[in-house]
Amino acid sequence: MLQLTVLREQTDQVIAGLNKKNYKNAAEEVAALLELDQQRRQVQNEHDELQRQANTMAKAIGSLMKSGEREKAEAYKTETAELKQKTKALAELLSTTEAQIQQALYKLPNLPHESVPAGRTAEDNEVVLQNGEIPDLHEGALPHWELIQKYDIIDFELGNKITGAGFPVYKKQGARLQRALINFFLDEAIAAGYMEVQPPILVNETSGYGTGQLPDKDGQMYHATADNLYLIPTAEVPITNIYRDTIVPVEQLPIKNTGHTPCFRREAGSWGADVRGLNRLHQFDKVEIVQVTLPEKSYQALEEMSDHIQGLLQKLELPYRVLRLCGGDMSFTASLTFDMEVYSAAQGRWLEVSSASNFETYQANRLKLRYKNESGKTQLLHTLNGSALALPRIVAAILENNQTLDGINMPKVLHPYLGFEKIS
């Protein structure tokens, strides 16, 4: 959530940043929000002045009674009662205005970092680097949705029977590949200094607002209405909310957590060739890395997270590229995002497998996640997260890129986790 002080003091920069994210009616909404803020401050000042007058009169009543000025004391009592009624009305108006401001702030996305390129769609993203060789597959190579049928390792029809489309059943070597990847990703994160946590996969509404999924992604989340709980779209939500309403001692920074969870996304409106097979699911597994850092160290942390994710792709021997997302393709909450895409040889295209983002103070302001600086002043921290990694498209690329005429070779780094070297 953007800070009101930033909107007041850097109005032009805020509007320019919102426009870079292609946020509609940025100038009008910021102006309306600042007008609400002005009203709130006027009501606050009037409330405080009336409260001061009421307190002064209340203290004077006792002295007047003692000095025998009963009539004047009674008049003060009447006036004090009237002031209290006016103060109560102003307090209610203040509460209503503050709620309106809060809701308006919730609707504004985070501002992009200065390095974010302008643009509206994925076509405008900037390729930062590319690594690895594109595989040259044998004639008749199959896309992963045909490979999984050939080797009977993932069953979409069975998942559809049990639940519905987008909920596959992994079995045999497919199930072991899932478990191997999860353990490999977790072990690598722990070796890089991340503490493993296993959070709940249902969160309350406050947690959804804390990391910015609500109200922005309300329609994309599965909602258990009876208990007003949400199935998580990513482990970022519960892990980051561990630190909600917390003042973190500086000596404990940076905080580095990792966790594996299933993730649930409705993906309403998704259709087309890009959603075939494992390309887009309603339920999938992912290992997440999360950091909480001092503001001046957050962009160094983002680079480290990007390097860590790239290291996983290199060990899996997958060709990949890194993109710096443009303003129009970034998430609602991010200031700067690097996407990692792997090349899927049988499909002949790049597949996004990870996003690493710096949210600066946007989530921390919602979460009230703070630290005390050297002068003892409370300041907001920066939060970051990255997928390290999401499994479905990684599995798709491994299957497609490593297929041979007599089976699918597994990356060497996974052999100790799998107990086999080839799917056949």
What secondary structure letter does DSSP report for 255?
E
Q: Is 354 annotated as a binding residue?
A: yes
- Ranges assigned E (strand) in 82-201: 126-131, 154-155, 169-170, 195-196
Distance CA 78, CA 210 (A): 45
Q: Is 353 annotated as a binding residue?
A: yes
User: What order of strands is seen across the sheet that includes strand 369-372?
Assistant: 246-247, 369-372, 378-380
Distance CA 185, CA 201 (A): 19
Taking alpha carbons only, the member of 371, 353, 369, 209 closest to residue 288 is 353
Complete domains list, the chain, with CATH: 4-106 (1.10.287.40), 122-423 (3.30.930.10)
What secondary structure letter does DSSP report for 362?
H
169-170 and 349-358 strand pairing: unpaired
Q: Is 365 annotated as a binding residue?
A: no
Count Cβ atoms below 10 Å from residue 205 Cβ, excluding itself: 14
- Ranges assigned E (strand) in 92-176: 126-131, 154-155, 169-170
What secondary structure letter does DSSP report for 111?
P
Distance CA 143, CA 274 (A): 12
In 107-168, which residue ranges form alpha helices assigned H by DSSP?
144-150, 156-162
Residues near 150 by Cβ (< 8 Å), separated by ≥ 6? 142
In 197-259, which residue ranges form alpha helices assigned H by DSSP?
205-211, 236-241
Q: For each of the chain's 424 residues, which pLDDT tens digit applies?
A: 999 999 999 999 999 999 999 999 999 999 999 999 999 999 999 999 999 998 888 888 878 777 887 778 878 788 888 898 999 999 999 999 999 999 999 999 999 999 999 999 999 999 999 999 999 999 999 999 999 999 999 999 999 999 999 999 999 999 999 999 999 999 999 999 999 999 999 999 999 999 999 998 888 999 999 999 999 999 999 999 999 999 999 999 999 999 999 999 998 655 555 678 999 999 999 999 999 999 999 999 999 999 999 999 999 999 999 999 999 999 999 999 999 999 999 999 999 999 999 999 999 999 999 999 999 999 999 999 999 999 999 999 999 999 999 999 999 999 999 999 999 9
Distance CA 322, CA 172 (A): 33
CB 234 within 8 A of CB 220: no
Tokens standing for residue 48: 């405080």
CB 358 within 8 A of CB 164: no
Q: Is 331 annotated as a binding residue?
A: no
What is the separation of C-alpha 341 from the centre of its chain, rounded to a whole number of angstroms? 19
What is the separation of C-alpha 365 from the centre of its chain, rounded to a whole number of angstroms? 13
Taking alpha carbons only, the member of 177, 132, 219 closest to residue 392 is 177
Q: Is 120 annotated as a binding residue?
A: no
Tokens standing for residue 107: 């609707």
Predicted pLDDT at 267: 82
Distance CA 235, CA 257 (A): 10
Token match 């940076």: residue?
A: 254
Q: Which residues sit opposite 343 in a β-bridge?
A: 350
Peptide bond into 202 cis (omega under 30): no
Distance CA 237, CA 164 (A): 25
Per-residue exposure over 271-289, b if at least 16 CB sit within 10 Å of its own CB, e if not: eeeeeebbbbbbbbbbbbb
Q: Which residues sit opposite 223 in a β-bridge?
A: 230
CB 109 within 8 A of CB 18: yes
CB 291 within 8 A of CB 357: no
Radius of gyration of the chain (CA): 27
| Separation of first and last alpha carbons in the chain | 51
Distance CA 98, CA 95 (A): 5
Instruction: Give the three-state DSSP class for 281.
Output: coil
Q: Is 385 annotated as a binding residue?
A: yes
Q: Is 395 annotated as a binding residue?
A: no
CB 362 within 8 A of CB 336: no
Token match 């129009």: residue?
A: 328
Residues in the chain, total: 424
Predicted pLDDT at 146: 97
Predicted pLDDT at 56: 86
Q: Is 355 annotated as a binding residue?
A: yes
Q: Is 324 annotated as a binding residue?
A: no
Q: Is 267 annotated as a binding residue?
A: yes
CB 105 within 8 A of CB 365: no
CA distances to 200, 204, 260 from 185, in Å: 19, 27, 9
CB 168 within 8 A of CB 281: yes
